Amino acid sequence: MLELKSVDAGYGTFQALFGINLDVRAGEAVGVIGPNGAGKTTLMRVISGLIRPAKGSITMEGHDVVATPAHRIVDLGIAHVPENRRLFPRLTVDDNLKMGAYMPGARAKYAERLEFVFDLFPRMKERRSQMAGTLSGGEQQMCAIGRALMSDPKLLLLDEPSAGLAPVVVQQVFELVKRIRASGLTVLIVEQNVQQVLKVVDRAYLLEAGTIRASGTSEEMMKTDTIKQAYLGV
């Protein structure tokens, strides 16, 4: 579904990603793990077009993502839940969700998508006329994921969904990821919480210093010595 081939990317003269090869198949949940500053967020941003790659190719179901204007990439079926959620704090939950359905194709399905999101997150229905900035951390994460789902994506990019949340809420967020998967979506998730994320994904990549150091199924990754020592603490 999504394929990255030898992608280089960075900010100005600073290069954050070096020759990334990565693929996500339809229906899969794939994790990208690694330490702070490894380039995980940059990887997400380069897929959704927030930054453009210096080199390499990115394709989504055969469409050239690099050649697509940034604001059209969502039309290819890629929805990005950015780091720190990035809700519009002084818009209501309803208006935030509405922004997720901005593209003409999504507008036509607005009512149907809204029902889907409210089914997934009944809490959002209760909070719909509340300003997004006044939601709790977990609710904001639901709203951010809901906003991304409003575009009826095929591939959901989740950037550190557990960041800044209380441990009990982190559990809920990973439960959500499972439910989103169950609804048939393909998920690419970036996480520092390695132990948790390996429980919900099929495969994972280890990203360190801007390069892919290892990849494999969740079971394989959990058994890898370097990951065990550095990330799982066993």
Partner 1 sequence: MQAFLDIFDIYLLEAVVNGILLGGVLALLALGLNLIFGVIDVTWICYAELVMIGMYGMYYMVQAFGLPYWVAAPIAILLVAGLGALLHYLVIEPLLTAPPINQLLATGGVLFILQSFATVAFGIDFRNLGIRLPVLAIGDMHFSYSRLLAFVAALIGMLAVYFFMTRTYTGTAIRAISQDRQIMSLMGVDTKRIYLITSALGGALAGLAACLLVLQYDVHPFVGLSFGPITFLICVLGGLGNFVGGFIAAFVFAEIISLGGLFADLEWGYVLAFAFFIVMMFIRPAGLLARRS
d(CA 37, CA 230): 15
One-letter amino acid at 109 equals K
d(CA 43, CA 211): 10
* 55-76 as b/e: b if 16+ CB within 10 A: ebebbbeeeebeebeeeebbbb
Q: Closest distance between partner 1 and the C-beta of residue 88, in Å? A: 5
Q: Closest distance between partner 1 and the C-beta of residue 105, in Å? A: 9
Instruction: Kindly write out the interface string for residues 95-114 of this chain, putting x where it contacts partner 1 by CB under 8 A and - elsewhere.
Output: x--xxx-xx--xx-------
- C-alpha closest to that of 103 among 61, 143, 71, 68: 71
Task: Count Cβ atoms below 10 Å from residue 126 Cβ, excluding itself.
Answer: 12
Q: How many residues does the chain have?
A: 234
Q: Closest distance between partner 1 and the C-beta of residue 185, in Å? A: 17
Identity of the residue, 150 or 177, whose beta carbon is nearer to partner 1 in the bound complex = 150
Q: Output the six-digit token pair for 182.
A: 């169950």
Instruction: Kindly write out the interface string for residues 151-180 of this chain, putting x where it contacts partner 1 by CB under 8 A and - elsewhere.
Output: x-----------------------------
Size of site (CB under 8 A) for partner 1? 29
Q: Closest distance between partner 1 and the C-beta of residue 65, in Å? A: 13
Alpha carbon distances (Å) from 210 to 66, 148, 219: 19, 26, 23
One-letter amino acid at 43 equals L
Burial of 18 from C-beta contacts in 10 A (0-12 / 13-18 / 19+):
middle
Q: Closest distance between partner 1 and the C-beta of residue 61, in Å? A: 17
Of 6, 11, 26, 89, which one interacts with partner 1 (CB under 8 A)? 89
- Sequence-ordered alpha helix ranges (H) in the chain: 40-48, 93-100, 104-108, 110-120, 122-126, 137-149, 167-182, 194-200, 218-223, 225-227
Asked if residue 72 binds partner 1 (CB under 8 A), the reply is yes
- C-alpha closest to that of 7 among 50, 37, 62, 52: 52
Identity of the residue, 139 or 159, whose beta carbon is nearer to partner 1 in the bound complex = 159
Of 18, 88, 116, 118, which one interacts with partner 1 (CB under 8 A)? 88
Identity of the residue, 31 or 49, whose beta carbon is nearer to partner 1 in the bound complex = 49
Of 69, 167, 184, 233, which one interacts with partner 1 (CB under 8 A)? 69
Give the binding range for partner 1 (CB under 8 A) out of 18-26, 89-97, 118-126, 212-220.
89-97
Identity of the residue, 77 or 138, whose beta carbon is nearer to partner 1 in the bound complex = 77
Q: Which positions lie near partner 1, rule CB under 8 A?
A: 48-50, 69-75, 79-80, 82, 86, 88-91, 95, 98-100, 102-103, 106-107, 147-148, 151
